[in-house]
A = this chain, B = another copy of it.
Amino acid sequence: MPKSRFKVSKDSLLPERALLDQIRSQAARSGAGAVRLGIGDDCALLGLRPGEEVAVTTDLSIAGRHFRLDWHTPEVIGHRALARGLSDLAAMGARPVAAFLSLGLPEELTRHTGRHARRILAGRTWLDRFYDGLLALADLYKTPLAGGDLAQSPVALADIVLIGAVTHGKALLRTGARAGDRLYVTGCLGGAAAGLKFMAEAGPYKSGMPRSFPDKIKLALEPHLYPRPRIAQGLFLRRRGLATAAIDLSDGLSTDLAHLCAESSVAAEVDAAALPLHPSATLEQALNGGEDYELLFAAPPKAKLPRAIAGVAVTCIGRFVPARRGRPQITLLTIEGSRPLPPHGWEHFS
C-alpha cells in the first residue's frame, strides 16, 4: 500500500503532489512548532518539551453512524471529527501537539460531479470542504495536521488521531475523584442533543446553517454542528492543580459520570436545579444527550474554582460520595426528591 503520509500511487484519490501541497499549505497555517517532520516521509516526527509525556487518542467517525452525508455539510463533518479528538486531550489537561487523519471516501466525494454534486460549491469537492472545516478548527486550536492516510472506501469514514503533551505525572485522570469532592461542569448541557433533534425534525434545512436562519435556530444548532473543545479550560485546571479527576462529556452526563465514578470507585449526587441547561435543551437532554464536549471534573471542597475559565462558565452541579452496596452509582436530587440516574448512552443515527 502507498505509504507516504497522505498516500500516493494508485490508492490515492487525488494526484499526490496536488493533494500534498494543499494539505501542507493549509496545515502550515496552524503553526508547526513541535512538528519537526510532517507530511512526506514514512512517519511524522514530533518534539516534546523536557519532562512531558505523550497523550494519544483516536476517534473513528463513520457515515450513517457518527454523521450523515445528507444532514451534515462537509465542513461540519471535518470540524466535528477533529473536535472529538481535541476534547479527549482537553479532558487530560494536555496541550495539542499534532493531528493525524485517516480518511476513507467513496471516490465521488473527491470529484466535482456525482451524487453529492449538489453540495459542491464554487468548484470545490466534498473533500476540499471537509478539509476546510477540519483545518479551520485546527487553526483555532493551533494544532497542525501532520499526516494521515487516504483510501477509497465504500462508506465515508474519518479516523482522527490527536497527539498531545502533558507534564509527566500531572495529567487529569478519571481515577482521582474522592468522596467529598465537588462535581463541576464547564459551559452548558444538552445543547448538542437539542440541536440534533432540531435537525432531525427540520430535515430539509440540512446542516448548512444559512445566514438567513433566525438567531434562535442558529443558537440551537451551534453546539451540535460546531462544538468547541475545552482545551484552555483543561490546561487551566491542570496547571493550577484544581481538579482531582476529569472526563469530557461525549456520551452524555449520566454515562460519562458513571465512567468517572467507576474509575474512581466513588458514587455521585447531582443537583438537578444546578444543571446549566442550554437555552434550547430539556433536562432529559442535559442528563442523557451526548456530544456536548464539555469537561466534567472533580475538585476538593476547599479548591477555589473561578466562575468562568477563558470565558466559559464553571458550575458546581453536585458532589462525590462513598460508593456503598445498595446506593445507586449516581443519584439525581430534585425538588420532588431523589432518584437513581442510570447511564443512558446516546444512540446516534443508528
Contact = CB atoms under 8 A, between A and B. Distances in A.
A149 B43 CA distance: 21
Residue of A55, A58, A147 ringed by the most chain B CB atoms within 10 A: A58
B3 A250 contact: yes
Contact of A66 (B66, B91, B151): B151
A171 B45 contact: yes
A152 B251 contact: no
Contact of A102 (B50, B148, B159, B256): B159
A194 B155 CA distance: 30
Residue of A11, A54, A84 ringed by the most chain B CB atoms within 10 A: A54
Contact of A55 (B3, B43, B61): B43
A148 B66 CA distance: 16
A188 interface: no
A164 interface: yes
Residue of A43, A62, A166, A259 ringed by the most chain B CB atoms within 10 A: A43
Residue of A57, A92, A154 ringed by the most chain B CB atoms within 10 A: A57
Interface string A45-69: 1111010011111111110111000
A44 interface: yes
Given A9-B346, A149-B159, 14 more contacts: A1-B61, A2-B345, A3-B248, A11-B65, A41-B175, A42-B247, A46-B54, A58-B148, A59-B102, A59-B149, A62-B151, A65-B151, A65-B153, A104-B157
Given A9-B346, A251-B3, A164 B43 contact: yes
Contacts of A153: 62, 65, 155, 157
Contacts of A43: 55-57, 88-89, 91-92, 94, 162, 164, 171
Interface in A10-63: 10-11, 36-37, 40-48, 50, 53-62
Ranked nearest first, the 10 interchain pairs of A and B with the lowest CB-CB distance are A9-B345, A42-B91, A43-B55, A159-B159, A60-B102, A46-B54, A3-B250, A60-B149, A43-B57, A42-B88
6 contacts: A1-B59, A44-B57, A46-B54, A47-B168, A60-B149, A62-B104
A248 B60 contact: no
Interface string A133-167: 00000000000001111111111010101111010
Contacts of A155: 153-155
A282 interface: no
Contacts of A55: 43-46
A64 B166 CA distance: 40
B3 A166 contact: no
A312 B173 CA distance: 43
Contact of A10 (B102, B103, B146, B347): B347
